[in-house]
Structures are given as C-alpha cells and as structure tokens.
Copies of this chain bind each other. A is one copy, B any other.
Amino acid sequence: MPQKLTLEEINIALKSLTGWEYQNDFFIQHFVFKNFVDAFGFMSRVALLAEKMDHHPDWSNAYNRVVVKLRTHDAAGITEKDIKLAGLINQLS
C-alpha cells in the first residue's frame, strides 16, 4: 500500500503542481472550460488515465466547471499516487 505523506512532503510536492491546493485531506483543483463539451472531454481523458492507474478522483461537474479531488482512501491521506495523478491531470487540462 502506498504510504501517506507528511504535511511537509505534501507542501514540497505542491510547489511543482500548478493549481492544486491541499484542503481537508484532499488535493483539490477547480477547472473552468469553454463549455460542457470541453469539460466532459477533459473528464473523459482523466477517466481513462485514472482507470489505467487504478486510482480514481472524487469529482464533480456543472456545465463548464469541473472540481477534482484526489486522495488515497486506503492510506487515508495523500500518497505518491495522488502526486503522480495530479501532475498527469495538469498535462491533460
């Protein structure tokens, strides 16, 4: 099982993860797109990636807005898997 990171490790990781914040034990980022097609297109790309990594976001969508929250539930916190997924999501957005 991946190991839960310390707050210090999380803060170091966040420096290279543009747009992500650490709130209530989750990595969180709000994305805004031009319209629903672009928002759901983004979600579809993330979904394929998440399934491949077997690491899935908690997320919501309302029209052109997507909120993505990341956490490793098994570790009850942020792990390397979240850092990796957060970085890859940034590449897709």
Contacts and interface: CB of A to CB of B under 8 A. Distances in A.
Nearest to A58: B62
A8 interface: no
Interface of A: 36-37, 40, 43-44, 47, 50-51, 56, 58-63
Nearest to A67: B60
Contacts of A36: 47, 50-51, 56
Contacts of A56: 36, 62-63
B62 A61 contact: no
Contact of A40 (B37, B47, B58, B62): B47
Contact of A44 (B37, B44, B61, B63): B44
